Amino acid sequence: MLLGLTIEKINDTGGFFDQYPFIWKDFMKAGYMTFIGEDDSSISTFKYLAHGFKWAPVDYYLRPFMLGLETTNGGYKLCSGNVLVLQTIFDKLSDFITTYHDVPKFTFSFISKPSHDDHNGLGIVDLPLVRTLKDLNSRGLLDNTVLIVFGDHGNRYGPVRNTYQGRLEENLPAFYVSVPRWFRKEQSDLYENLKLNRNKLTSNVDIYATLQDIIQLGQGIMSPRITGKYGTSLLRTISTNRTCDDLKIPNQFCVCQAFFHAYSTESKIVRDISQWIVKEINTILTNVSHVCSDLTLNEISHAWRSDNSSNITGNSTSDGDYVIQFSVLPSHAKFEVTIRCYRQKFTLIGDILRTNEFRGESYCVASHKNVVVLERYCYCRKQSFISAKLAHSATNKTVRIAY
């Protein structure tokens, strides 16, 4: 969305992102003032498991302010004093827009704390967001604004995620675009394209192309130059024949696949795939097997099958793609995988997704250089031993729990 690149095209920079050609750099070159504000420093977009930026990436970068604010609220609470932290972000955003009312602006605000661990917490955002937008709109400060409200993904953990509907929702987050009323009349062809594109396959790379298009429209360029390597602006005509492969969307995140009905979890091929993937997970854990427990298959909860993937990848020789959800012992971790079966050989498509929370279970690999991968799979042996000891004690009715 901000780079127009796929993950494979991003080179490792030691955890810093300063050198990347983020879209705000193009806005700055075009004379825009820029702003970034997020409500949680620990899991912010550019800081989670990374180093972020050596230098402030935009004109107004709220991270130093947030670090100071978090010293007053314990770092995890939703409020600072009697004010919602997210309202503070919106207030700073409003101040920025008010101060530079006569200057073109690009802002990126990201609110994650209320709903990160509980999707029901998203309701906390409603009133502050509506209140802020109504205030800005009443003062005419949105009259020349393209407003985009979006989520980065749907619910990734919990009972809802472990359903077919939940699987779709994770890959289809909310995305809303509002353009000024005058734009709808003066650029009616572009506005019609925007409305028609609601029913077409689009992805993050198209958002990058749209932002590039907005820069060029502001410069009076009505026929855009190439706006993205893979994407097309949402304001332009988008083909109805696009595929996930065209947009470099990994198969496991492609919602165009025809998983038309559930497949038997008792079938031999589903069980073979599940056993195979558990072995693959244990292989990933080989170098930390002295601290991480060996995993065994516990239960296969869901399976879906697509007869053919030729309409997605152009590969018509595959026996079929399978999506399988299963759990393992001793951690009771739940996973989801997409596997391609061809002539009884299995190929993992994409990552092995963890679909339930694992906070605290993998503490023993927290300092490992590959923690971002290992933490999803590792169940620390010491923790496992304690659990087994408690289970044994419970069998003999000797456990005492003090409160």
DSSP string, 213-257: HHHHHHTT--S-----SS---TTS---TT--TTTTT--GGG-TTS
For residues 85-105, average pLDDT: 94
State how far the Cα of 215 lies from the Cα of 224, in Å rounded to an integer: 10
126 has which bridge partners? none
Indicate the DSSP class of residue 262: B
What's the pLDDT at 258?
Answer: 56
Global pTM value: 0.77
Q: What does 306-325 look like in DSSP terms, one character per residue?
A: ES--HHHHS-----EEEEEE
Q: Residue 251 contacts by C-beta under 8 Å, 6 or more apart in sequence?
A: 244, 257, 309, 312, 313, 321, 338, 349, 350
Domain map of the chain by residue range? 7-244, 268-395
Q: Are 381 and 292 in contact (CB under 8 A)?
A: yes
Indicate the DSSP class of residue 293: P
Distance of CA 44 to the CA centre of its chain: 12
For residues 275-291, average pLDDT: 95
Which pLDDT band holds residue 387 (cuts at 50, 70, 90)? low
Which pLDDT band holds residue 326 (cuts at 50, 70, 90)? very high
- For residue 192, the SS3 value is helix
Helix locations, 42-149, DSSP H: 63-70, 85-99, 113-116, 123-138
Residues 89-98 have pLDDT tens digits of: 999 999 999 9
Q: Are 259 and 324 in contact (CB under 8 A)?
A: no
Residues 177-187 have pLDDT tens digits of: 999 999 999 99
